[in-house]
Amino acid sequence: MDQTEITHSEITRAETELSVIKKIMEDSRNIVADNGWHYIFWGVMVTCGLIANYIMALSKVNINYQGMMWFILMISAWIVEGIIERRKAKKRKVRTFAGKMLSSLWFAAGISMFMFGFVGTITHAYNAVYICPIISTLLGATYIISGAIQQVKWMQLLSIGWWSGAIYNFLFPSIHTLIIFAGMMIFLQTLPGIILYMKWKKNPVSTY
Amino acid sequence: MTDFNYQEIDDVIHSRIRTAIMAVLISVDEAEFTFIREKINATDGNLSAHLKKLEDHNYISVKKEFIERKPVTRYKITETGIKAFEDYIKKLESIIRK
């Protein structure tokens, strides 16, 4: 075996190499830059649905039609999301594990919201007025995890807003719950989405 | 100063650019050529040569496709590559510990 002595310079070189490797790995692993598109898209869609639902409820439109409106809106939104996401995925320069986790998290949250919104009410498991606070609670949990993955602390803090709104809407359920939830959608989802978009515009790194 | 066996060092990874490429690819699911180039600040020709060497040793896999008529090359680390990179890191750590 060709054995030689390790010099101090070789040890220094090994240390430098390890620290460079560590830095590259950390930088690459943390790329989950989000351009905020999803937040804006879903925020606008749900806000429109809530306002339409509020008007329908005030006009005493049959609850089945209100459900139908939501079903059509949500299915259309999923289709549009699917098409756009497919196109974006092809253009992505890098796919990270954090990005995969984020996609899985929001996909799971979306399916859960669908279950709470449609299956829960169709089966009369609970009154439809509680859909908003249930979904707010779920969004609070999703935002705190999403913020942790994206390393955006202020996004995690939005969970407090979602949970506070949920408590209020659980305690004081009324027809106005819809409009309160619409306000939450604007301030806790659409506006943060716009902030993310503006940040991304300034520094457009590859999205996950 | 202590004894050290140089034959134990993996020559395929033991180069600044190839080590950096492996560090990038082990951290992501897959990455495009342009992304790796941006990350490690290498020229196209130099990077291609080093990627080819890693590919020849089955440390990375390559996928070529056309997106909107533009050629796109994506790289992914293989199981062999992961194992080799882990061994390489262990080796560096052992040098420091000695």
Chain B residues inside the 8 Å CB shell of A206 = 35
Q: What confidence score (pLDDT) does residue B20 get? A: 93
- The separation between CA A114 and the C-alpha centre of its own chain, rounded to angstroms, equals 14
Interface predicted TM-score of the whole assembly (ipTM), two decimals: 0.77
With CB atoms and an 8 Å threshold, state whether B95 touches A31.
no
A205 touching B (Cβ < 8 Å): no
With CB atoms and an 8 Å threshold, state whether B67 touches A15.
no
Q: What confidence score (pLDDT) does residue A208 get? A: 43
A–B interface: beta-carbon pairs under 8 A: 92
Q: What confidence score (pLDDT) does residue A96 get? A: 85
Average pLDDT, chain B: 88
DSSP secondary structure, A15-58, as one string: HHHHHHHHHHHHHHHT-----SHHHHHHHHHHHHHHHHHHHHHH
Rounded to an integer, what distance in angstroms lies between the CA atom of residue A205 and that of residue A94?
Answer: 10
End-to-end CA distance of chain B: 8
A157 touching B (Cβ < 8 Å): no
DSSP secondary structure, chain B, as one string: --EEEGGGS-TTT-SHHHHHHHHHHHHEEEEEHHHHHHHHT--HHHHHHHHHHHHHTTSEEEEEEEETTEEEEEEEE-HHHHHHHHHHHHHHHHHHH-
B7-54 per-position pLDDT tens digit:
677 889 988 899 999 999 998 989 999 999 988 889 999 999 999 999
**Closest by Cα among A133, A158, A132 to A145:** A158
With a cut of 50, list the residues of chain A below it in pLDDT.
Answer: 1-2, 206-208
With CB atoms and an 8 Å threshold, state whether A21 touches B27.
no
Please, which residues bridge with residue B65 across strands? Answer: B72
A 10 A CB-CB count for A135 gives: 23
Q: Which residue carries 């799971």 as its tokens?
A: A108
With CB atoms and an 8 Å threshold, state whether A5 touches B35.
no
User: Which residues have C-beta within 8 Å of that of residue A130, sequence separation ≥ 6?
Assistant: A169, A170, A173
Instruction: Answer whether residue B89 shows pLDDT above 70.
Output: yes
- Is the pTM for the entire model greater than 0.80? no
Chain A residues inside the 8 Å CB shell of B31 = 28, 93-95
Rounded to an integer, what distance in angstroms lies between the CA atom of residue B6 and that of residue B18?
Answer: 18
Q: What confidence score (pLDDT) does residue A49 get? A: 96
Q: What confidence score (pLDDT) does residue B1 get? A: 46
Per-residue tokens: A31: 């790329």
With CB atoms and an 8 Å threshold, state whether A97 touches B28.
yes
